[in-house]
Structure 1
Amino acid sequence: MVTPVQGGLAVTRDVFRALMGSHPSGVAVVTTADAQDTPYGFTCTALCSLSLAPPQLLVCAADSGSTLPVLAARGAFIVNLLHSAGRRAAEAFAGPAAERFSTVPWRPAPVTGLPVLPQDAHAIAECRVTKLIPTDDHTIVIGEVLHTETHAPATDAAPLLYGMRRYATWPV
């Protein structure tokens, strides 16, 4: 039997952001494209594996962003897992939408044709959307992994991490 929790202090947006920001996460750029093949994308630290059979992962996308409606309409997306030299991509895709793809080299992925960031990502996963789960201000996007690639960066760069309001890596 579960006992309901009573009372407590309200957790504000800033307090919750500080809590989650104190826990480092890997950094990815999620990309997709509209029907005219105009690319869209956003920096993401809310990403995890979901199942092995079938291979699925989930990402959380802000409802206020420009990428989520395009991703939902296209029904597919790419997860670009960034290495430490990919910080420029992380920063570009966290900024204004108009500048994202003009500052970072990209190419079409082999299965979906969606944008891959080969100079900034150490691995990618091409995904087909299987479910969208709306929450309060984000949508959980579940994707079946259709194809993966691992890219060797020019240097032996470690995965890019973000936490405590800064980027970091662990030694390789």
Structure 2
Amino acid sequence: MTTQPTAAAGAQASPDAFRSLMSEFPTGVCAVTTRDPDGEPWGMTCSSVTSVSLAPPTLLVNLRAGSPTLRALLASGSFSVNFLHARARETAELFASGNPDRFALVPWEQAPGAGGPHLVRDAHTIADCEVVLTQPMGDHVTVYGGARRITRQHSLPPLLYGQRQFRSWSQS
């Protein structure tokens, strides 16, 4: 016997209702970084990061369409995903703020062959990626990155975001 799903009472699937829904789903926090063709560093906080494939190693990030970071990333064809550690909340907030001087306020380096700037103080792990595919959807663009190199920086626990709050992984 099959049953028919019933409509549950709830909010319309509006942007605000969807934002509220997704705020209840905790996730890790990253800073996606790149350099434009003139060598200028760009970056933004991103919590929409997902593994896609182990062979070849591929991840995806979702970036706001029209973002200067996305524009630079697409022009360069490469980027770094800086997985932020629990003590990097200020950097997560800085890279979410739109402050044009963000790279003057945090230590970073551009190693040869890196996809983008490495946030050496604030990332526990960094994945250097090359763009292998992009897919626009609504007000965002999904960027698939083939991971070329993974660098472990610190052994601190990851920074998490959920319920509109930053937290760290429990040490228990």
Match of 1:79 in 2: 81
Q: State whether residues 80 and 115 of structure 2, in contact with CA within 8 Å, keep that contact through their aligned partners in structure 1.
A: no
Q: For structure 1, list consecutive stretches of 5 or more residues without a partner in the other structure.
A: none
Match of 2:144 in 1: 142
Q: CA deviation at 1:23?
A: 0.9
Between the two proteins, the alignment pairs up a number of residues equal to: 165
Q: Distance in 2 between matches of 1:165 and 1:77?
A: 26
Q: CA deviation at 1:100?
A: 1.6
Match of 1:16 in 2: 18
Match of 2:37 in 1: 35
Q: Distance in 2 between matches of 1:168 and 1:83?
A: 10
Shifted more, 88-97 versus 128-137: the winner is 88-97
Structure-to-structure mapping, 1:75-114, within 5 angstroms: 75-112=77-114, 114=116
The one-letter amino acid of 1:38's match is E
Q: State whether residues 92 and 99 of structure 1, in contact with CA within 8 Å, keep that contact through their aligned partners in structure 2.
A: no
Q: CA deviation at 1:113?
A: 6.0
Question: Could you state the TM-score of these two structures normalised by the residue count of structure 2?
Answer: 0.90
Q: Does 1:170 align with 2:172?
A: no
SS of equivalent to 1:108: coil
Q: Distance in 1 between matches of 2:133 and 2:99?
A: 25
Question: Could you state the TM-score of these two structures normalised by the residue count of structure 1?
Answer: 0.90
- What fraction of aligned residue pairs are identical, expressed as a percent? 42
Q: Distance in 2 between matches of 1:75 and 1:63?
A: 16
Moved over 4 A (4+): none
Q: Distance in 2 between matches of 1:10 and 1:171?
A: 35
